[in-house]
């Protein structure tokens, strides 16, 4: 096991041996695990988010959590605890507002979005001295994920899988047609709130690796990539996990080779992957259409 400093490898200096060497570093192994676990969590939760077309809500919750981070710095508690509290409160709050139908939901989300950021900035400003890792909350720092954080991430990943496995159908049916689900006796409000808590926590767990500004893409890009192949809710989740993992691992590796920030590189590769697959799918469809249009020779 190597413990030396992270070798800054530029493209022209990198050999295959260098590339494989990096996997022997503990911090890189941790980063790979974090990328895989975050991809699985975001794939499942993101499938729900994209299907219900509530990406904007997820964005609001993400940014509102910055208020919690700032407050936690000010009071000297764990920033992730602060983020989790703010995320859960804003997520369930939006659910509550949308259930009452008296306030315009999109305006309420915009207010939470910017208010969270404002509170975060104010509290960070008022905190005396140096605020460590502040930038890593905004842009993520997957290379500094520790063992204990990995265990937490793994535990939450298991919880998310369990929630979707046990409540698969009520979750799907309330997402698709809440009114009908209510007629069928499903406890719609319970599942809506359960999911808003799961969404909030999934976002906070992903912020650790990808940062507030970049996190939304891992909740949407793997899903829309998966939806190029299937429009079956149950199949989108595993397929999005796969695309999340391939995209984030290639992003991670590229960040090492080219010495660029990991989170940004991951997002770039998730997007590139989507565009490439989209292109292939479209070309294949055009080819099939051309083949079927060819006149049959008699």
Partner 1 sequence: MKEALVILRDINAGYHSEAVLSDVNLEVYPDDFMGIIGPNGGGKTTLVKVILGLLPPFSGSVSFPRGKPAIGYLPQVSQIDKSFPITVKDLVNSGLKSRNNWFPQLTAGQRKQLHQMLDEAGLSAIASRPIGDLSGGQLQKALLCRALINRPGLLILDEPDTHVDKAFEQELYSWLRELNQEMAILLVSHDIGTISPLVKTIACVNGQLHYHPSNQLSEEVLKVYNCPVDLIAHGPIPHRVLKSHDHA
Find the shortest distance in angstroms from Cβ 186 to partner 1.
5
Instruction: Please identify, using beta-carbon distances, which residue of 5 and 185 lies nearer to partner 1.
Output: 185
Smaller CB distance to partner 1: residue 155 or 184?
184
Closer of 73 and 274 to partner 1 (Cβ): 274
Residues making contact with partner 1 (CB under 8 A): 47, 51, 53, 101-102, 165-170, 172-173, 175-177, 179-186, 227, 230-234, 236
CA dist 140 and 204 (Å) reads 11
**Extended beta strands in 49-170, E state:** none
Least Å from the CB of residue 77 to partner 1: 38
In the complex, the smallest distance separating the C-beta of residue 238 from partner 1, rounded to whole angstroms, is: 11
- Cα dist. 95→21, 115, 243 in Å? 47, 18, 29
Closest contact distance (angstroms) between CB of 229 and partner 1 is 11
Instruction: Report CA-CA distances (Å) from 101 to 30, 95, 98, 187, 193.
Output: 44, 10, 5, 19, 16
Q: Are 200 and 87 in contact (CB under 8 A)?
A: yes
261: left (phi over 0), alpha (psi -120 to 50) or beta: beta
Q: Min. distance of Cβ 200 from partner 1 in angstroms?
A: 22
Closer residue to partner 1 in complex, CB, 134/277:
277
- Distance of closest approach, residue 277 Cβ to partner 1, in angstroms: 17
- Judged by beta carbon, residue 5 or residue 101, the one nearer partner 1 is 101
Do 235 and 88 touch, CB atoms closer than 8 A?
Answer: no
Half-sphere exposure of 41 (CA within 13 A, CB side): 30
**Chain centre distance of CA 160:** 13
User: Smaller CB distance to partner 1: residue 27 or 167?
Assistant: 167
């Amino acid at each position: 096991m190597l413990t030396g400093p992270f070798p800054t490898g530029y493209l022209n200096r990198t050999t295959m041996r260098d590339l494989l060497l990096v996997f022997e570093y503990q911090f890189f192994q941790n980063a790979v695990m974090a990328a895989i676990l975050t991809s699985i969590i975001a794939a499942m939760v993101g499938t729900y988010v994209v299907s219900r077309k509530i990406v904007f809500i997820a964005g609001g919750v993400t940014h509102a959590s910055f208020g919690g981070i700032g407050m936690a710095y000010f009071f000297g508690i764990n920033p992730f605890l602060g983020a989790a509290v703010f995320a859960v409160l804003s997520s369930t709050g939006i659910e509550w507002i949308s259930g009452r139908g008296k306030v315009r939901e999109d305006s309420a989300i915009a207010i939470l979005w910017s208010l969270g950021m404002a509170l975060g900035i104010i509290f960070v400003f008022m905190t005396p001295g140096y605020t460590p890792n502040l930038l890593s909350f905004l842009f993520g720092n997957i290379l500094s994920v520790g063992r204990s954080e990995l265990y937490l991430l793994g535990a939450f990943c298991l919880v998310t899988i369990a929630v979707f496995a046990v409540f698969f159908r009520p979750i799907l049916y309330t997402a698709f047609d809440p009114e009908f689900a209510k007629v069928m006796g499903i406890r719609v409000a319970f599942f809506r709130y359960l999911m808003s808590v799961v969404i909030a926590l999934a976002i906070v767990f992903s912020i650790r690796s990808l940062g507030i500004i970049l996190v939304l893409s891992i909740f949407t890009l793997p899903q829309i990539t998966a939806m190029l192949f299937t429009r079956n809710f149950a199949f989108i989740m595993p397929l999005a996990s796969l695309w999340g993992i391939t995209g984030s691992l290639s992003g991670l590796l590229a960040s090492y080779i080219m010495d660029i920030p990991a989170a940004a590189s991951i997002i770039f590769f998730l997007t590139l992957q989507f565009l490439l697959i989209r292109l292939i799918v479209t070309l294949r469809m055009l080819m099939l259409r051309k083949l079927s249009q060819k006149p049959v020779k008699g």
